[in-house]
């Protein structure tokens, strides 16, 4: 019952917000939408207490859905997914609260909050769906909501294009996911996750060559779905552009929900996917993590730094999930949700304070003007940089510990951590410490309390969450597979501290070019992936579309012409009967009567 409520509440919030949101004021719309998510969070807390009291599973059977084995409307929650549910609803509540302030002067709040509620609903569905098909429904809804939210400022061409891009790139993954789902259905004849696990797991050892290949292909397809949703190489291109959306949306999509869906999928299906594919996910994760960290280092737009760092951090989660360390992946997922949401909301607060200034070279000195935002941002940055004792330190350590016996992965993870410390420090120094370099920065003003309260709450989470989990106060539902040796802890702490200090030292006095402009420009552009896709996919597809458009236009023209001509020819025939002479009508009448009589008499 609580479980059904948990999922139904955000959906219940979306409907009145969308339908009747125009009848009340903007603030009221936001408050109502936030309230429903908060209620859902309450349900999550109630469930967490039940689990703390010793429950091992909660199931909600809502009824049959499709005539496929296992495809019922049923939800399941286990100790593994409880923390996820808490995080999704909790962080979303704070972000929705923040949005009330952030979008106080926006005319589209009704659209916005309806989409936010729907988004939370969809994400919860991904986390607690008991079968793959229902999970896929959430998966698709998340894609839809991301489109709606990224393109929230729909009269801006860049925002509309970014929304479409996110949607289209996600479609690639969704299509792969769906085909993989069908292959699993063919393989084990059910979509129920628990049953798939039961059937595949023992069979993994003694699979025939053919079934092995099938499982491999199905796993690869599901992995592609996860890569697209989680913005991993090579399907990451939508995420940086998604920064066109309102900043709280970035926090919601890129910290708490959507992008972590791929990790959630890998964790939930960890024991089912083909082991080679799972390891492939770890490899892709580490490559993505390093790649995105380098790109983040070169960004000059503070939201884009965070966007690329999100891609990088999700890469680390993929490493954790890929080597089967569910604990490390989930730990970093939740820690990341806290510090990244704090950073994004901090970023939004900076924009709010400086007239939407995004260029970090034109910011600076905000520490004096906006002290609370600075504190919150510093907490988030400490989490991102993995400085002890912030959340990221413990979670990255857990990931590093999980890949201890795979040196290449370990080096990749540590290098990514070091780079994250560097760009987090660079970002913080340039925005808050360096001398102000524009009038906006000099005249920045602190955000209202409705934005600061959620921001500070998330910052507190970013600061203490890691220690709470590592200390055992907050259970994550899974136990760590490997304990980090002291040497590793010391190494990662030293790396983080050294690189963060270096970053602060380099950028303390303002922007500085330390690599040749050609290199940093290439990195800033994400090393040409966009250009590649433009040439390889967008332009050919456009050309085909153009040909088809012209062809279809010609075809429609032809059909229309033919219809017209047929009517003209037909009416020329019919005209002959309407000669205007009474006598010919009479003759026709007579002939018809004779014909009718003849017919009757013959029959």
Partner 1 sequence: MPTEAYLLLGALLFALGAAGVVTRTNALSVLIAVELMLNAVNLTFVAAARRYAELDGTVVAFFVITVAAAEVAVGLGIVIDLARRKTSVDVDEASDLRG
Q: Which residues in this chain contact partner 1 in the complex, by CB under 8 A?
A: 574-583, 586-587, 590
Q: What distance in Å separates the CA atoms of residue 280 and residue 259, rounded to the nearest whole number?
A: 19
Instruction: Return the number of the residue (407 or 580) whose C-beta is nearest partner 1.
Output: 580
Closest distance to partner 1 from the beta carbon of 552 (Å): 37
Instruction: Return the number of the residue (518 or 583) whose C-beta is nearest partner 1.
Output: 583
How many other CB atoms are found less than 10 A from the CB of residue 73?
17
Instruction: Return the number of the residue (513 or 574) whose C-beta is nearest partner 1.
Output: 574
Instruction: State in Å, rounded, how far the first CA of the chain is from the last one.
Output: 73
Instruction: Return the number of the residue (556 or 593) whose C-beta is nearest partner 1.
Output: 593
Closest distance to partner 1 from the beta carbon of 561 (Å): 24
Closest distance to partner 1 from the beta carbon of 586 (Å): 5
Closest distance to partner 1 from the beta carbon of 570 (Å): 13
Instruction: Return the number of the residue (407 or 581) whose C-beta is nearest partner 1.
Output: 581
Closest distance to partner 1 from the beta carbon of 594 (Å): 9
Instruction: Return the number of the residue (201 or 571) whose C-beta is nearest partner 1.
Output: 571
Mapped onto helix, strand or coil, the DSSP state of residue 59 is strand
Nearest Cα neighbor of 30 from 117, 100, 98, 89 is 100
Closest distance to partner 1 from the beta carbon of 591 (Å): 10
Instruction: Return the number of the residue (557 or 571) whose C-beta is nearest partner 1.
Output: 571
Instruction: Return the number of the residue (581 or 599) whose C-beta is nearest partner 1.
Output: 581
- 465 neighbors 387 (Cβ within 8 angstroms): no
Give Cα separations from 539 to 234, 531, 532, 534, 535 (angstroms): 18, 10, 10, 6, 6
Closest distance to partner 1 from the beta carbon of 544 (Å): 49
| DSSP per position, 475-501 | --SS--SSPPPHHHHHHHHHHHHHHHH
Closest distance to partner 1 from the beta carbon of 585 (Å): 10
H or E element in which residue 58 lies: strand 58-64
Instruction: Return the number of the residue (473 or 581) whose C-beta is nearest partner 1.
Output: 581
Closest distance to partner 1 from the beta carbon of 598 (Å): 15
Instruction: Return the number of the residue (539 or 596) whose C-beta is nearest partner 1.
Output: 596
Q: What distance in Å separates the CA atoms of residue 3 and residue 127, rounded to the nearest whole number?
A: 12
Nearest Cα neighbor of 239 from 136, 326, 349, 314 is 314
Instruction: Return the number of the residue (105 or 576) whose C-beta is nearest partner 1.
Output: 576
Instruction: Return the number of the residue (53 or 577) whose C-beta is nearest partner 1.
Output: 577
Mapped onto helix, strand or coil, the DSSP state of residue 359 is strand
Closest distance to partner 1 from the beta carbon of 595 (Å): 14
**What's CA 160's distance to the chain center, in Å?**
17
Closest distance to partner 1 from the beta carbon of 571 (Å): 9
Instruction: Return the number of the residue (552 or 571) whose C-beta is nearest partner 1.
Output: 571
Environment class of 455 (CB within 10 Å of its CB; exposed 0-12, middle 13-18, buried 19+): buried
Full 3-state SS string of 60-106: EEEEECCCCCCCEEEEEECCCHHHHHHHHHHHHHHHHHHHHHHCCCC
Closest distance to partner 1 from the beta carbon of 577 (Å): 7
Closest distance to partner 1 from the beta carbon of 602 (Å): 18
Closest distance to partner 1 from the beta carbon of 588 (Å): 10
How many other CB atoms are found less than 10 A from the CB of residue 245?
26
The answer, yes or no, to whether the previous bond of 389 is cis (omega within 30 of 0) is yes
Q: What distance in Å separates the CA atoms of residue 456 and residue 74, rounded to the nearest whole number?
A: 36
Give Cα separations from 13 to 8, 35, 254 (angstroms): 9, 8, 22
- 379 neighbors 452 (Cβ within 8 angstroms): no
Instruction: Return the number of the residue (576 or 603) whose C-beta is nearest partner 1.
Output: 576
Long-range contacts of 219-222 (CB under 8 A, 24+ apart): 219/180, 219/272, 219/273, 219/274, 219/277, 219/278, 220/180, 220/274, 220/277, 220/280, 221/176, 221/177, 221/179, 221/180, 221/183, 222/176, 222/177, 222/180, 222/181, 222/184, 222/265, 222/269, 222/273
Mapped onto helix, strand or coil, the DSSP state of residue 587 is helix
């Amino acid at each position: 019952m609580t479980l059904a409520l948990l999922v139904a509440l955000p959906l219940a919030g979306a409907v009145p917000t969308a339908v009747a949101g125009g009848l009340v004021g903007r603030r009221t719309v936001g408050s109502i939408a936030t309230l429903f998510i908060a209620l859902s969070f309450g349900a999550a807390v109630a469930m967490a207490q039940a689990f703390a009291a010793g429950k091992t599973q909660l199931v909600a059977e809502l009824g049959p859905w499709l005539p496929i084995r296992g495809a019922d409307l049923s939800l399941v929650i286990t100790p593994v997914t409880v923390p996820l549910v808490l995080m999704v609803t909790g962080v979303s509540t704070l972000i929705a609260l923040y949005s009330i302030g952030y979008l106080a002067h926006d005319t589209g709040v009704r659209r916005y909050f309806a989409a936010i509620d729907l988004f939370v609903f969809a994400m919860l569905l991904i986390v607690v769906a008991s079968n793959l098909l229902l999970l896929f429904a959430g998966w698709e809804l998340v894609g839809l909501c991301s489109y709606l939210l990224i393109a929230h400022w729909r009269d801006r061409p860049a925002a509309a294009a970014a929304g479409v891009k996110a949607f289209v790139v996600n479609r690639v993954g969704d299509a792969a996911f769906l085909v993989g789902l069908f292959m699993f259905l063919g393989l084990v004849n059910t979509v129920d996750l628990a049953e798939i696990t039961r059937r595949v797991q023992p069979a993994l050892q003694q699979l025939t060559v053919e079934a092995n290949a099938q499982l491999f292909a199905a796993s690869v397809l599901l992995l592609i779905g996860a890569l697209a949703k989680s913005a991993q190489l090579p399907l990451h291109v939508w995420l940086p552009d998604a920064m066109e959306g309102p900043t709280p949306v970035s926090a919601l999509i890129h910290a708490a929900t959507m992008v972590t869906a791929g990790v959630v999928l890998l964790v939930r299906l960890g024991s089912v996917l083909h082991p080679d594919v799972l390891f492939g996910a770890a490899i892709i994760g580490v490559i993505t993590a390093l790649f995105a960290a380098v790109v983040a280092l070169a960004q000059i737009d503070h939201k884009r730094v965070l966007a690329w760092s999100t891609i990088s951090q999700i890469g680390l989660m993929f490493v954790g999930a890929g080597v089967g360390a569910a604990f490390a992946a989930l730990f970093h997922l939740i820690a990341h949700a806290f510090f990244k949401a704090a950073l994004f909301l901090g970023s939004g607060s900076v924009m709010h304070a400086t007239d939407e200034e995004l260029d970090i070279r034109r910011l600076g000195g905000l520490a004096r003007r906006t002290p609370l935002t600075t504190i919150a941002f510093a907490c988030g940055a400490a989490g991102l940089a993995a400085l002890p004792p912030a959340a990221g330190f413990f979670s990255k350590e857990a990931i590093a510990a999980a890949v201890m016996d795979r040196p290449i992965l370990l080096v990749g993870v540590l290098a990514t951590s070091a780079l994250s410390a560097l760009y987090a420090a660079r970002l913080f120094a340039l925005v808050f410490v360096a001398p102000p370099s524009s009038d906006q920065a000099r005249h920045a003003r602190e955000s209202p309390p409705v934005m600061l309260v959620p921001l500070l709450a998330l910052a507190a989470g970013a600061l203490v969450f890691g220690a709470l989990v590592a200390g055992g106060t907050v259970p994550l539902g899974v136990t760590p597979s490997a304990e980090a040796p002291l040497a590793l802890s010391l190494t990662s702490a030293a790396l983080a501290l050294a690189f963060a200090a270096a970053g602060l030292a380099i950028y303390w006095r303002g922007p500085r070019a330390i690599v040749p402009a050609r290199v940093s420009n290439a990195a800033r552009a994400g090393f040409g992936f966009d250009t590649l896709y433009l040439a390889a996919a967008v332009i050919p597809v456009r050309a085909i579309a153009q040909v088809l458009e012209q062809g279809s236009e010609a075809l429609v023209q032809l059909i229309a012409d033919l219809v017209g001509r047929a009517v003209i020819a037909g009416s020329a025939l019919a005209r002959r009967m309407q000669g205007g002479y009474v006598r010919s009508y009479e003759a026709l009448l007579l002939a018809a009567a004779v014909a009718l009589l003849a017919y009757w008499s013959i029959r």
